[in-house]
Amino acid sequence: MVLEIRLYGDPVLREQGKPVTEFDDKLAKLVEDIKETITTEDAAALAAQQIGEAIMLTVIDFSYMLERNYPIDFDYKYDGKEVPLGLLMPLTVINPKIEYSSEETDLMEEGCMSFPLGVRPSVRRSKEVEISFQDVQGGQHRLWCNGILARCVQHEIDHLNGILFIDHASTQDLRRFESKLKKIKRHTRDLMKQRAKGKK
């Protein structure tokens, strides 16, 4: 099932995710729905908050890079091994913890499915990260990565902690998107009113 993506201004995006403790059929169904939503919406990743669930779960899927022959500008090791990207993705990341982040950083534009209209501020992030996390069955894993994958991982873990990419952007940079951010917030307010009416 394709899920509604929550937009900037929705309070759930600012919620700290609760740890996942039940690795059951309900969780598996949610993960499958997020994967379907990522494919349908042509996204690279979605955090649970973005579909209205404040839990420590995100799904990352760079499969489109293979399908469209995009140049791969990152390296990674999954549980210390080199795994083909086609086998690694989509990657379900549950209860992640950043174990290492490099002091070396870079500044790049980022986008986000919760921020349409071309809101793409520049964000500084570590070039390399290593995380520990669980899969949908509760198994423990580690992922080391750099480049665009490291950036995506940090972006998604921020989401799980109620942190948005605009929080890292400079005030000067955000001024460029001020009118678009206000427009998204107004749209979100309208959507939330419609959602509230539907529950009555």
- Tens digit of each residue's pLDDT (9 = 90 or more) over 82-116: 999 999 999 999 999 999 999 999 999 999 999 99
Distance (Å) of CA 143 to CA 35, 136, 159, 175: 20, 15, 18, 35
Q: Model-level pTM?
A: 0.96
Instruction: Check residue 148 and give its pLDDT.
Output: 95
H or E element that contains 140 = strand 140-146
53 as an active site residue: the answer is: no
110 three-class SS: coil
Domains and CATH numbers, the chain: 11-199 (3.90.45.10)
Q: Which two tokens stand for residue 134?
A: 């669980």
- Tens digit of each residue's pLDDT (9 = 90 or more) over 161-187: 999 999 999 999 999 999 999 999 999
Strand stretches in 36-139, DSSP E: 45-47, 57-60, 76-78, 91-101, 105-109, 122-126, 128-134
Q: Among the options 15, 41, 130, 156, which is catalytic? A: 156
Instruction: Check residue 31 and give its pLDDT.
Output: 98
Higher pLDDT, 69 or 46: 46
